[in-house]
Structure 1
Amino acid sequence: MEILLYVSAAIAALSLLLIAVFVIITLKSAKATMNEVSETLTNMQGKLNGITDQANELLANTNRITEDVERKMQSLNSVSKTAEKLDDSTVHMNKSFQSLSEQISNPDPKYKDLMQKANTITGIAASIYFRTKREKAKQTNASYSSKPNKQKRERQDLLPSPQKRLPEPKQKN
């Protein structure tokens, strides 16, 4: 029975030795797997850092574009406000021109007589001025009668064409 005891102790020692060997093999395999996992995580972290950097750049560009768009929108708002004011100014100018046109085409009766007299006086003054100029031109022509006809034509071009009298505006009833 003693042998049995030794055999069982030897089997138990051998079993413990086998368990220790298998534990060591399993731990080595687990260590290799853990190293591979660690490498994979390191690679993943590097790639994630690259993606994060690109995402940050993209976010910064998006912010710049957003600010630029906001500035341009504010510019467009000011341009549209200016256009509205320009429209108001144009309407006001049109009304002013129409009012001025009506005042010119239909003058106040007390100024109408004065305007006709001023027109007559201006016509007489222009007639006297151009007659005097024509007489001077004739005198100059007489003294330079040996010069070509070209000068005569140039002097005749100085005289204005006769003016037509505008019809009287229709009176409003």
Structure 2
Amino acid sequence: MEILLYVSAAIAALSLLLIAIFVITTLKSAKATMNEVSETLTSMQGKLNGITDQANELLENTNRITEDVERKLHSLNSVSKTAEKLDDSTVHMNKSFQSLSEQISTPDPKHKDLMQKANTITGIAASIYFRAKREKAKQTKASYTSTQGKQNTGRTDLLPSPQKRLPEPQQKN
């Protein structure tokens, strides 16, 4: 029986040795796995830092763009207000031009006679001026043609077209 005791002690020692071997190989495998996990975590941390930096830059750019858009919207509001004021000014100017146009198209009867006389005098003065200019041109051309031996053709189109007369005032009934 003693042999059985030694055999069982040897089997137990062999079992403990095998358990120790398996534990050591398992620990070595676990250590290699832990090293890989540590490297993966370090790599992921580096990548996350890069992503975080890019996200921060993107956030800063977004903030700058937002501020720029707000400034431009403020400027656009100013332009819009100016356009509204311009519209009011345009309406006022149109009314002024309409009023002036009505005053010119329907003058006071007391001024109409004076305007017709002034128009007649202006027409006569223009006619005299252009006649004198035509005569001077003829003399200049005659002296030029006499020295060159050419004939004076004379132009009659130097007078301006007659001025349009104002219509007679209509009497209101």
Task: Give TM-score scaled by structure 2 length.
Answer: 0.70
Identity of aligned residues (%): 87
User: CA 1:77–1:52 in structure 2 vs 1: closer, same or farther (change >3 Å)?
Assistant: same
Three-state SS of the structure 2 residue aligned to 1:159 is coil
Q: How many aligned positions are there?
A: 168
Structure 2 letter corresponding to 1:168: E
8 Å CA contact 1:130, 1:159 repeated in 2: yes
Give 5+ residue unaligned stretches, structure 2.
none
d(CA) in 2 for partners of 1:63, 1:144: 83
d(CA) in 2 for partners of 1:59, 1:163: 75
Displacement of 1:137 in angstroms is 4.5
d(CA) in 1 for partners of 2:32, 2:141: 124
Structure 2 letter corresponding to 1:48: L
In the TM superposition, what whole-angstrom CA distance separates every residue of 1:33-89 from its partner, at most 9, and x where no partner exists? 221221111121122122222222322332233233223323322322222222112
Structure 2 letter corresponding to 1:130: F
Equivalence for 1:119: 119
Task: Give the alignment of 1:1-173 within 5 angstroms.
Answer: 14=13, 21=21, 23-137=23-137, 139-140=139-140, 143=143, 146=146, 147-149=150-152, 152-153=154-155, 156-171=156-171
Displacement of 1:23 in angstroms is 4.6
Task: Kindly report the root-mean-square deviation, in angstroms, between the aligned alpha carbons of the 2 structures.
Answer: 3.5
Three-state SS of the structure 2 residue aligned to 1:107 is coil
Structure scoring higher RCO (CA < 8 A, sep ≥ 6) equals: 1
Structure 1 letter corresponding to 2:104: I
d(CA) in 2 for partners of 1:82, 1:26: 81
Displacement of 1:145 in angstroms is 5.8
User: CA 1:162–1:38 in structure 2 vs 1: closer, same or farther (change >3 Å)?
Assistant: same
d(CA) in 2 for partners of 1:114, 1:85: 41
In the TM superposition, what whole-angstrom CA distance separates every residue of 1:130-161 from its partner, at most 9, and x where no partner exists? 344444445556555643446x23xx343223
Displacement of 1:169 in angstroms is 4.8
Give 5+ residue unaligned stretches, structure 1.
none
Displacement of 1:99 in angstroms is 0.5
Task: Give TM-score scaled by structure 1 length.
Answer: 0.70
